[in-house]
Amino acid sequence: MPRGTTGGTPQVLLAHHLKQLKLPTVLREYDKVARECARDGVDHPRYLLRLIELELIDRERRMVERRIKAARFPAVKSFDTFDFTAIPTLNKMLVLELARSEFILRRENVIALGNSGTGKTHVALALGLAACQKGFTVSFTTAAALVHQLMEARDERRLLKTQRDLQAVKLLIVDELGYVPLSPTGAELLFEVFSQRYERGSTIVTSNLPFEDWTSILHSERLTGALLDRLTHHVHILTMNGDSYRLRQSSGNSRSPFSAEKGEQNQAIAEAVDPETGEISAT
Ligand code: ADP
Ligand code: MG
């Protein structure tokens, strides 16, 4: 046995070296693949090739998983579970084109507009997932959470670092702009994020408010104008107006609309119930 390898059997050393080289799949599979190759009469280069290909496939999968985790999606949703027929105002061809993630390379934005429960968040999540799978870094947040994060960073004197992190991500998803009115400082900070990302990275925004009402949450007409100017310069608009998918599901599936399991559903229903008649209005 050559000097230097007396410390253990070749298997032990190999395991050690493969761990150091971060090749977990080679370590896990080399013995099994070797037996298969011996059985099939496959030569050494092909054996090595099979093994390395397995490592590459696994590595790609691990990286996608890491990007999904880093994106902090509230749920993992894809277009496989999205019913396009439920929302006829949505341009399916455009959405499927966006799912190819090329808009991220072109640093274009996407704005999904429509009333509550029409699948805006679902579409944003699915576009985010597709981007993770294509190799882009993604970050998901809501407008309220983002503003909160920025205010906190400012108070703790680390605003610059937070802004840089938000600028670096290839696709930033800002969900639910419009549900919570922002403070003037919050609106300024949000504007800065969009401004800093302008032509540097892609942003997806979902909102229940049409553009003309954005002033009501950002307060200043000047700020709203400047923000829309940047956000809509290179933009794909997804029009998502229609019946609430949540409402339709729950009123179709349960005897009483209030037996819906999720609090979220209950809230959506509560908002749509006519206090006079107790009937659900189709909004
Ligand atoms: P919004 O963000 O527009 O309020 P969501 O995306 O949160 O709506 O949709 C509400 C729920 O209904 C989610 O669970 C979502 O997955 C589901 N949903 C909405 N639209 C569709 C659709 N067209 N196909 C399948 N599920 C949908
Ligand atoms: Mg939503």
Q: Atom 26 in ligand 1: which residue has the minimum CA distance?
A: 82
Q: Atom 9 in ligand 1: which residue has the minimum CA distance?
A: 119
Residue 77 CA, closest ligand 1 atom number: 16
Q: Please give the residue that has the higher pLDDT: either 14 or 245.
A: 14
Q: Atom 18 in ligand 1: which residue has the minimum CA distance?
A: 119
Residue 254 has pLDDT above 80, yes or no: no
Q: What is the mean pLDDT of residues 152-159?
A: 97
Q: Which class is domain 72-272? A: alpha beta
Furthest-apart CA atoms within the chain: distance in Å? 90
Residue 250's pLDDT band, with cuts at 50, 70 and 90, is confident
Beta bridge partners of 139: 172
Residue 112 CA, closest ligand 1 atom number: 3
Residue 81 CA, closest ligand 1 atom number: 25
Contacts of residue 266, Cβ cutoff 8 Å, sequence gap at least 6: 258, 260
Pocket of ligand 1 (CB under 6 A): 77, 81-83, 86-87, 116-122, 245-246
Ligand 2 center from residue 118 Cα (angstroms): 8
Q: Where are the beta strands (DSSP E) in 52-156?
A: 109-113, 138-142
Q: Return residue ranges of the chain for CATH 3.40.50.300.
A: 72-272
Q: What is the mean pLDDT of residues 169-176?
A: 98
pLDDT for 252: 61
Summarize pLDDT for 53-64 with one digit per residue, the tens: 999 999 999 999
Q: Where are the beta strands (DSSP E) in 128-263?
A: 138-142, 171-177, 202-207, 235-239
Ligand sitting nearest the alpha carbon of 117: 1
Residue 262 has pLDDT above 70, yes or no: no
